[in-house]
Amino acid sequence: MKHLITPIVAALALCTNGCTTRQPAFVRVENGHFTGAPAYYVGTNFWYGALMATEGPNCDRDRLCRELDSLKALGISNLRILVGSDGNTGVVSKVEPILQTAPGVYDDRALDGLDYLMAQLGKRRMHAVLYLTNAWEWSGGYCQYLEWSGRGTYPIPREVTWQTFVDYVAQFHEAEAADSCKIMLKNHIRHIVTRTNRYTGRPYRDDPAIFSWQLANEPRAFSEANKERFYEWVSRTAKLIKQLDPNHLVSTGSEGEVGCERDIELWRRIHALPEIDYTTIHIWPYNWSWIRKEGVEEDLPTACRNTDEYIRQHAEIARELRKPLVIEEFGYPRDGFRFEPGSPTTAREAYYRLVFDHVVRSAAAGDILAGCNFWGWGGEARPLHLRWQVGDAYCNDPAQEEQGLYSVFDCDHGIPDQIAQTNRTLDRYTRALDAPAGNRSPEALLGRLRKVAAEGKVLFGQQDFPFYGCHWAYEPGRCDVEACCGSYPAVLGCDLGEIELRTGRNLDGVPFDTMRREIVRHHERGGVTTLSWHPRNPLTGGDAWDVSDPNTVRAVLPGGKKHAEFLGWIDLAADFLNSLRTPDGSVVPVLFRPWHEHTGSWFWWGEGLCTPEEYRSLWKMTVARLRERGVECLTVYSPSSVEDEHEYLERYPGDAWVDVLGLDAYHAGDAAGFKARLDKSLGVMARIAAKNGKPYALTETGQEGIPTADWWTSVLLAGIGEHRPAYALVWRNAPQTVKPGHYYAPCPGHPSEADFKRFHDLDRTIFVSGTPAPKH
């Protein structure tokens, strides 16, 4: 039976897509995903949060609140935080103030700081991963417990050989479970986990601001002989925490294979424990000698390859365990291995983009990689010394490292922008997990495209079909396609070109008021709308096809002489998109497809008119501005026909900026050649879509005048073949008195009408019924 989207189905979609479920009080893991918090996220390491709230030389609660607000504005809600430091003051390489000054003896000011931080996180609906101790010396941790248990003063790694330090700290797991060093840590864990917050009056075990308790920062066995004892310690400690607090998740804080004595099976075993709720890895290209100090930029490809592989091998195990994977530490130095805030970070930005894209792709596919916490947020701090000293503002670089080595400061604009846009995309994909497929929201629309493609079906679309046809114009309800087959196209294509002129009409003369009305009407039928944009050349004043000046893109980017004016143009597009609402005020989500066919050079943004980086900057600037203006849409990236993945992705702005992969491919020349080119291009897209977890579509196609009578079944469908584009949109039917021969769908009496009816009747093609859905 013919697959139609009926008004009843559309109405049901509108109803079910509007339903919401109440979030649980605590974060949980269900079917390999986090619930009660974003299922996918970019978070940060903010280990010094509790220290900054502690009364003393470094106390700055005003700054703490400002930093939390800044992080929240970037979409960051997951912070990885040190509970506190142990031992004596004045120890080189150790952060202060001290929480536990002697075994079981706590500075109440530090406990107050931890309470204050947790209360502030709760107010902002943010979450903390609280690590209870540290395998490294910079907060005491293992080393301090060993010193307290009589093993002698612990060595500082930078003052002794690495092996000397390892031999010392390895004693922690050489010790039996009843040894005083382990008993002291056990008592510390009990003291913190059972604490009641003095600001909220709420026991920590009842605080939903806690994402998880973490055994330690980067716990290691520190020797081959210790591996079994290490496993047993993880098991005992996780069980203890679950007994003390059954409400919260428990995690290890492990680096992965590197932190398990290069034994990935040991990593599997500790994360297979039922008391461990999710898996963790850390990735450090410089610390692990993947890059050289003098090769930060040059060695980036090596760092990226190794990172890809490290994520892949751990994700495979996480899938088997059905537990989320979090990259909870990663960092990359500044260009030239510099430390000053605001100094260049081009290599770091590229590396962060790689990690972020892994998470976005996982979110798009509903896969196991749930999040990442970059190391880390330095915010408004400005280092005063190469190494941290008491009284200095906290960066995110611990006391043993150069201040500014890995910190992201608020003046490092490139990375904060990446974080904000990535979190906006991840928020959408998180919401898409629970959104029924439909057209009520961007998330539901994304689900619908995925569902259609998974079923091997194709939504049929046409540009401008409700506005005019071959022999008519502006007759409500009329449509050439509907006149031929009794159904409307499922996808309506419109164009915003010349909205920037404020004349009230687009470049093809369609009034924007009419366009708005028909988009809403099509939405209520259950249809989908996609909008392209052919803006005039802002530098020359010519149309979108004016390629006389190769500096146009550069002129509209930040710093260009047309930048401010062009932002105003984008705002006009945003105003129109935001005006697309149903009578009850609900948003009509659309597919927005800017800067299309850029692999050619016939538009002022085309390949020959700007560099790949300039094109990516244009795309990001446009989408970022729309998002700032509150536009609810999916974005579509659509070059012309391509030969390979490199050509398709050369100007790709990144997974956080694109929701749907598109392709514009028109029938020119002989049918066999067109079908071969289409098959190749769709094959390229299918491979990329499989990697990126995104649906793909044939965003423009057709044969002008349709001289081939059986073009629909023998050429278009044959060219699509076994590929699975979510939709295929043919171009417009221009009034023949205005533009003779310019039409891409049949009207009654056309030679291809009979074949089009066969195309319509196939179970594979999806149209919408002609009756508008009831008002709601």
Report whether the peptide linkage leading into residue 342 is cis, meaning its omega lies within 30 degrees of zero. no
Q: Tokens for 162?
A: 């690495």
Q: Where are the alpha helices (DSSP H) in 322-413?
A: 346-365
d(CA 116, CA 412): 28
Active-site residue flag, 224:
no
d(CA 560, CA 134): 49
Q: Which helix (H) or strand (E) holds 696?
A: strand 696-702
Three-class secondary structure of residue 532 per DSSP: strand
Residue 129's region, left for phi above 0, alpha for psi from -120 to 50, else beta, is beta
Active-site residue flag, 228:
no
Report DSSP letters for 621-668, one per residue: HHHHHHHHTT--EEEEE--B--SSHHHHHTT---TTT-SEEEEEEE--
Query: What are the two backbone dihedrals, phi and then psi, of residue 564, each rounded to the nearest 5 degrees?
Result: -60, -45
Q: Where are the alpha helices (DSSP H) in 273-413?
A: 300-321, 346-365
Report DSSP letters for 583-607, one per residue: TT--B--EEEE-S-STTSSSSTTSG
Give CA 512 to chain center in angstroms: 33
d(CA 651, CA 642): 12
Q: Where are the alpha helices (DSSP H) in 26-102?
A: 49-52, 61-73
Amino acid at 265: E
DSSP character for 243? H
Q: What is the total residue count of the chain?
A: 776
* Angle (deg, nearest 10), helices 300-321 and 264-272: 40
Best CA proximity match to 219, nearest among 300, 275, 282: 282
Best CA proximity match to 412, nearest among 326, 335, 301, 303: 335
Pairing relationship of beta strands 98-102 and 85-86 according to DSSP bridges: parallel
Q: Tokens for 10?
A: 């559309």
Three-class secondary structure of residue 526 per DSSP: coil
Q: Tokens for 554?
A: 């550069």
Query: What are the two backbone dihedrals, phi and then psi, of residue 107, each rounded to the nearest 5 degrees?
Result: -80, 115
CA distances from 325 to 40, 82, 510, 768, 773 (A): 10, 20, 50, 41, 43
Contact 79, 409 (CB under 8 A): no
Order across the sheet with 249-251: list the strands. 249-251, 210-214, 127-131, 78-82, 41-45, 369-374, 325-330, 279-283
Query: What are the two backbone dihedrals, phi and then psi, of residue 106, each rounded to the nearest 5 degrees?
Result: -120, 140
Which residue in 597, 614, 632, 753 is the catalytic one?
A: 597
d(CA 613, CA 723): 31
Q: Where are the alpha helices (DSSP H) in 392-441?
A: 414-432
Instruction: Compute the chain's Rg from CA coordinates.
Output: 29
Which residue in 96, 524, 614, 700 is the catalytic one?
A: 700
Three-class secondary structure of residue 76 per DSSP: coil
Residue where the block lists tokens 């998974």: 454
User: Which residues are bridge partners to 82 per DSSP?
Assistant: 131
C-alpha distance across the termini of the chain, in Å: 29
- Residue 771 CB coordination number (10 Å): 12
Q: Where are the alpha helices (DSSP H) in 433-472?
A: 442-454
Contact 237, 189 (CB under 8 A): yes
Catalytic residue positions, numbered? 597, 700
